[in-house]
Amino acid sequence: WVKDANPSAELILKAQIHAGGRGKGHFDNGFKGGVQICDTPEEVQEKSGQMLGAKLVTKQTGPEGQLCAKVLVNEGIDIKRETYFAILLDRAHGGPVVVASTQGGMDIEEVAEKTPEAIITMPVDIGIGMTDEQAASLAEQLEFTGDLAAPAAAQFKALYALFAGTDATQVEINPLAHGS
């Protein structure tokens, strides 16, 4: 359990549904927010009780919402910087495309609308996969420098392997956080 290893840790409670915007969402029972920061296991239990079995309504679910049948609890970290990283199938490119931005941790659709120049788009040849050069270029464009560049590139390649290995249509990390 997180608190045994780190008694001062914040506990991050996240409703698990297939839609974005959970933090800004609301449940059909009146509870607000599908992402909660908790200080104690008891608080996690109390808030998860309000999430489980209720429908979470977000911008992406529509007014009917989605049933929350699972929650995730993890240790909070100190975040220095948030980026956005996704791999998705794109019809226009006829295969996988990496979509990334230095402006993570927020509604990526809003970033694309307001500052389209902040969006990085990189097609990946499905027959070859993500190359070392592409991974290194993404790390550089996302401003992972120095000792962070190689681990970031390795993470991007691992996420592509996950995408390809599970026959996924999308893998998204938001935020892809750089901790302190």
Q: DSSP H helical segments within 67-148, as ranges?
A: 108-114, 132-141
Sign of the torsion angle spanned by Cα atoms 113, 115, 116, 122: negative
CA atoms within 13 A on the CB side of 42: 0
Is 42 marked active-site?
no
Is 110 marked active-site?
no
Catalytic member of 10, 43, 82, 172: 172
Cα of 125 vs its chain's centroid, Å = 24
- What CA–CA distance (Å, rounded) separates 3 from 7? 4
Catalytic member of 10, 82, 84, 133: 84
Give catalytic residues, as residue numbers: 84, 172
